[in-house]
Structure 1
Amino acid sequence: MPSTSPEPVAAPLRQRAQPPRAVRRPEAGLRWAELRPADAPELARLVTRMELVDQPPYRTTEAEMAEYFEDSHVVSALGGRDEVGTLRAFGFVRLRRGEVSLLRAVCSGGVDPVWRRRGVGSALLDWQVDRARQLLVETGLDVPARIVVHVDENMPDLAGLLERAGFTPRRWYTQMRRDLSLAIPEVVLGPALRLEPWSPALDDAARRAHNTAFSDHWGSQPQTAEAWTQGRTYFAPEWSFVVLDRTTDRSPVAGYLISARYEQDWPALGWTEGYTEVMGVLREWRGRHVGSALLAAAMRAYAADGMQYAGLDVDADNPTGARTLYERLGYEPTHGSTMYSIEI
């Protein structure tokens, strides 16, 4: 299995990244132009055509495509249109602002099924890699960096394309679900620990707790206040919770759980679910049932709203042993994905 740690930095980022002076746009029979937020509706229609063929376990909405342009990221996006102006391919390269010790240029995109196997995908990937190298260097930082693509397990053609382009599988993730018709455990927290519903007043404290809790996770970078609050189109505050330590008046956040409601995914999944977007427990409170209490509270909230399952995603190498906790609470794997990268 390849190493999952960033490669040691042996030279300045510009030398390691080797950005081209100019990036040539793909050819492959399409007319290419920069994409902007106003293109989100057309992008969503293209993605819908792709997903009807590829059948991933989710469906992408126009609102989610609009999130790709949010200013919490540096964004470079390109679209290819056919002779009548229909969008047939697109590619994004996105760098989240505020990353300090590791830079990640995340690439995403795709090609209309009727335009596949004409060299469009490989030409678009070449543009993304070159543009990613440029954007990484333009940050002015001299830290480890990587170019990233996430691949669902049912996409072997994309995996092969990435490997031929120099990408390597680096990280593996598992989607899991928990049947809410089963008994949900009662979890008793220790003295002074209090489970609280999410509220706007606790949101930034949860962000700061998240940055601390994930500081020992592979590749994790601190979230700015702006990045933390963006990308929340499907945020479900009524399904989200925090645990506070009331030992002192300061009442720090010991753990937090943020949920989302992706109704558009339910037909593709074949069931309804409440989705745990992110959960964290700070180191000094680990081993005190904080994570179990948060998950149980979320499961009850999901079930009260008629959901059939609780869903979440887990990194195979999570250092906190999260998968063991999920399995103990009845979560079972459903499908997976892989992070491919070029380490710079």
Structure 2
Amino acid sequence: MTLQFPEGFFVRSATLDDVRSVTDFMRFCQQSEYGFALVSEADTLTLWTSPEVDLTHDTWLVFSLHDQIVAYLHLGHKNPLRLSVVLKVHPDSAHLGLQASLLKCVEERARQFIPQVRADARISLSISCSDPTTIYRQAIERAGFIYVRSNLRMEIEMNEPPPPVIWPEGITLRPFTLEMARAVHAADDEGFQDHWGYMPVPFETFQHEYITASKFDPTLWFLAFEDEKIVGCALCECREDRAWVNSLSVVRPWRQRGLGLALLHTAFGELYHRGERKVALEVDAQSLTGATRLYERAGMHKVRQFDRYEKELRAGRELSTQELEV
């Protein structure tokens, strides 16, 4: 597709040499939009080196005449049934209409994956929006995307140690070892089967995003066992200005028994001991399992909302989780 941009702009694919400059650009955009920056160079490198990412065909960088990045676009397709878009435009260029051309481009690329999936399956393209202004949101809606759901970023700021951990009877906590990697993946995947939009995540993707990533700290993975089976996980990491709970999962038979709260308090306690005072995570605002209520009980509160928009690329049978199965 030939992209139409104002005179003086040019576009090319990203390369690994762009990790730092794109991360800096993303951080600037996030700071302008959210009031804080989320992404690190390690995050960008992990994303761009994922097995399913083809930088030549899945990324677009738009530059000004002065060789400054003014827009970044990425298509994620680790799940070809639910493809996703990351689009950031420099605030000073937001009024130029770059969003429309880039969204057309990424949709064209996304449609190339349609023949690769089963013929009866529904395929969608999603994008997240937290822009308090209307330019970005209007561009998304004009491109045919429809609001479907929201995610929340929740945080706790600990001014004192968290409460003592109360473990449900029959549960023991064990440290992670590399020999447990596939068992942790299986337990975490099982714990998210009741999550809206769930689709199975291959072990190789889980391994790349978590275990082989440079930021991985195995001492911040908290695993709850019933006998020899992992029934709950809290997978955490420390970032620049706060810690993150990347994943909190409990398998269905152990829900509503205090295990999720015990895992959170365990993680908070270790992070507090290390000097971390802020801990954050992201959660489905309409969580099917009531996760938002759990986080509120643990002392967390909403700090940001991200609205999810979708565009249906092909109608068909929805294969992702949409509601709880009784």
TM-score by length of 1: 0.81
- Deviations, residues 57-110 of structure 1 (Å, cap 9, x unaligned): 3243322222232233344112222334433322111100xx4xx712111122
Q: In 1, distance between residues paired with 2:31 and 2:289?
A: 37
Following superposition, which runs of at least 4 residues in structure 1 exceed 4 angstroms of deviation?
none
**Any conservation in 2 of the 1:89–1:112 contact (CA below 8 Å)?**
yes
- Cα gap change, 1:262/1:204 in structure 2, threshold over 3 Å: closer, same or farther? same
- For the Cα contact (< 8 Å) 2:28–2:37, is it kept in 1? no
Aligned CA-pair RMSD: 2.2
SS of 2:152's equivalent in the other structure is strand
* SS of residue matched to 1:160: helix
Query: What CA distance in whole angstroms lies between the structure 2 residues aligned with 1:55 and 1:190?
Result: 38
State percent identity of aligned pairs.
22
- In the alignment, the residues of structure 2 paired with residue 62 and residue 189 of structure 1 have an alpha-carbon distance, to the nearest angstrom, of 37
- Name which of 237, 243, 249 aligns with 1:280: 249
Q: Within 2, Cα distance between the matches of 1:280 and 1:41? A: 32
| DSSP 3-state at the match of 2:286 | coil
Match status 1:238 vs 2:216:
no
- Seen in structure 2, the aligned counterparts of structure 1 residues 333 and 59 have a Cα distance that, compared at 3 Å, is closer
DSSP 3-state at the match of 2:303: strand
Give the SS at the match of 1:73: coil
Matches within 5 A, 1:1-344: 23-29=1-7, 30-75=9-54, 76-96=58-78, 99=79, 103-134=81-112, 136-142=113-119, 143-152=121-130, 154-182=132-160, 184-231=162-209, 232-246=213-227, 251-263=228-240, 266=241, 273-344=242-313
**2:294 partner SS:** helix
Preserved contact between residue 195 and residue 294 of structure 1 (Cα < 8 Å): no
**Is 2:33–2:130's contact at 8 Å kept on the other side of the alignment?**
no
Q: 1:34 to 1:190 in 2, by over 3 A?
A: closer
Secondary structure at the residue paired with 2:189?
A: helix
The 3 A distance-change label for structure 1 pair 140 and 178 is: closer
CA drift at 1:138: 4.4
3-state DSSP of counterpart to 1:258? strand
Q: 1:72 to 1:221 in 2, by over 3 A?
A: farther
Q: Contact conserved, 1:153 with 1:336, CA < 8 A, in 2?
A: no
Q: Could you tell which deviates more after superposition, 172-181 or 232-241?
A: 232-241
Structure 2 unpaired stretches of 5+: 314-326
Q: Deviations over 1:224-255 (max 9, x none)?
A: 12110223443333222010111xxxx11110
Deviation at 1:168, TM superposition (A): 1.0
Q: Distance in 2 between matches of 1:27 and 1:141?
A: 36
- Decide whether aligned partners of structure 1 residues 234 and 336 sit closer, same or farther in structure 2, where only a CA change above 3 A counts: farther
Query: Could you say if the C-alpha distance between residues 214 and 318 of structure 1 is closer, same or farther in structure 2, counting changes exceeding 3 Å?
Result: same
Give the 3-state SS of the residue equivalent to 1:293 in structure 2.
helix
Matching residue's letter, 2:259: V
CA distance in 2, matches of 1:160, 1:82: 23
What SS is found at the alignment partner of 1:257? strand
Stretches of structure 1 that go unaligned for 5 or more consecutive residues are: 1-22, 267-272
AA aligned opposite 1:79: L
